Amino acid sequence: MFGGKRKKITVISVVSIMVAAMIAGAVWLYSSVSIASQTTAEPSVASTNAPLEMSAYYIVLPEPFIFNVMGKERDRLVQIKVQLMVRGETNEALANKHIPLIESRLLQTFAAMTVEQLRQPLGREQLRQQALTSVQATMNKMTDMPVVERVLFTGFVMQ
């Protein structure tokens, strides 16, 4: 008789503790998210760097780049999928307008690499930086603006 009541009280107590813990966790999570959003919002308001205030747009280049690279032992076939990050609708429109020129410039940059450079993570990062520099230089000549903020490799295969 008393065993059933104790069991019922124990179950109710455990459930009550679990509900209280979930509520406390939700309050803590909500407060930490709001604090984080306040701390990240303050620098962007105070910032005078206009490009970071504009929305980022990602332009997927329609086809992956497929090219041969020379190596000491043998040549390799490389495939790279690329996306461009631009800020603002104006830069997005300019980049989309000049996609053939950008693709040509990227292919020239990629073909200048060697197998040994592309095997290393640092070599791939250098390639990405060189690609960004060459695309920005080309876009500066065409539009008097760098247009592209980042060149992103979304796929990289070397055989």
CATH code at 110?
3.30.479.30
Are both 72 and 102 inside the same structural domain?
yes
* Mean pLDDT (the chain, rounded): 82
Per-residue confidence (pLDDT) for residue 52, from 0 to 100 = 58
Confidence of residue 64 (pLDDT cuts 50, 70, 90): very high
Per-residue confidence (pLDDT) for residue 33, from 0 to 100 = 53
Are both 83 and 24 inside the same structural domain?
no
Burial class of residue 114 in the structure, from the number of CB atoms within 10 Å of its CB (0-12 exposed, 13-18 middle, 19+ buried): middle
Q: Minimal CA–CA distance to 52: which of 61, 63, 41, 62? A: 41
Confidence of residue 30 (pLDDT cuts 50, 70, 90): low
Per-residue confidence (pLDDT) for residue 25, from 0 to 100 = 65
Are both 35 and 75 inside the same structural domain?
no
Are both 37 and 65 inside the same structural domain?
no
**Of 12, 30, 46, which closes a domain?**
46
Are both 24 and 97 inside the same structural domain?
no
Are both 42 and 65 inside the same structural domain?
no
Are both 81 and 7 inside the same structural domain?
no
Are both 56 and 105 inside the same structural domain?
yes
Number of domains the chain is built from: 2
Confidence of residue 2 (pLDDT cuts 50, 70, 90): low
Per-residue confidence (pLDDT) for residue 100, from 0 to 100 = 94
Residues spanned by the domain of 23: 2-46
82-106 pLDDT tens trace: 999 999 999 999 999 999 999 999 9
CA–CA dist 135, 145 (Å, integer): 11
Is the pTM here over 0.75, yes or no? no
CA–CA dist 138, 99 (Å, integer): 11
Are both 8 and 56 inside the same structural domain?
no
